[in-house]
Amino acid sequence: MSLQQKTLHAFLGGNVICEVSQPAIYRFLHEEDGFEQVTPLIEAMGCKIATTGGRKGHFLAWADGSPEAAAAIRSTARDMQEECEKLIHCMSFMLEVDDTAGPLAMGDLVRAAAIVEAIDGNAAMRDKLGTLAAVMRVNSATDHGKITDILKKLKDMGYLTLVNRDREEYFVTGKIDRINDILTHFHSHIGSLQIEADVGGVQGDLF
């Protein structure tokens, strides 16, 4: 499969392409005229390549105002609502693991060992881990198992990419920028994460 084909498959699969998650495709877009190659094909489907607010990630968004596009945007927005709520809990928890690091950002290293160290002997943090595990719907009986399963789930959702399997280390991907864009939009325009509201104004920017 050519890089052009891989790029189209990545976009159509709902991925946020960044230099952390898919470096070869990201280089193809930025260094090998990849945008020029794939944009006409994407536009022919009534879509466009959108870029996250941090300018570090690219994803497929609707470009036309058809009823079909509006319905698809609302469906995607409803799916993203649950995902946003999970990420809010994850980001809040990670701030408590290391309050000097700031909010999760693309390229950050997430280490299972650091989370284990933060909850060791800390009953309040253990309780918060249990709450996060319930939100993420992981059922491991041990604290380390919960941490392992949460990180794997975040990887499966596209927010982390594995760096070292044995040490359970991950990099945060550019998809975190997209979720931050969505959270910022709905909190600034609506005051809460009620995505059932009108999403027409974000067409081509977020969905």
| Angle (deg, nearest 10), helices 3-12 and 23-31 | 110
Measure Cα distances from 79 to 63, 76, 85 in Å. 19, 5, 11
Per DSSP bridges, beta strands 58-62 and 109-111 are: unpaired
At 203 the pLDDT is: 47
- Residues with Cβ < 8 Å from 122, sequence gap 6 or more? none
What pLDDT shows up at residue 124?
95
At position 200, the amino acid (one-letter code) is G
Give the model's pLDDT for residue 195. 47
pLDDT of residue 97: 92
Report d(CA 207, CA 69) in Å as an integer.
10
Q: Please answer whether residues 71 and 121 qualify as being in contact, where contact means their C-beta atoms are separated by less than 8 angstroms.
A: no
Determine the pLDDT at residue 185. Answer: 65
In 3D space, the residue among 24, 63, 26 whose CA is nearest the CA of residue 175 turns out to be 26
Q: pTM for the complete prediction? A: 0.83
pLDDT of residue 1: 83
* Alpha-carbon gap, residue 183 to 158, rounded angstroms: 17
pLDDT score for 77: 73
One digit per residue, pLDDT tens: the chain, 207 residues? 899 999 999 999 989 999 999 999 999 999 888 999 999 999 998 889 999 887 889 998 888 767 777 777 777 777 778 888 899 999 999 999 987 878 889 999 999 999 999 999 999 999 999 999 999 999 999 999 999 999 999 999 999 999 999 999 999 999 999 888 877 766 655 455 454 445 455 545 655
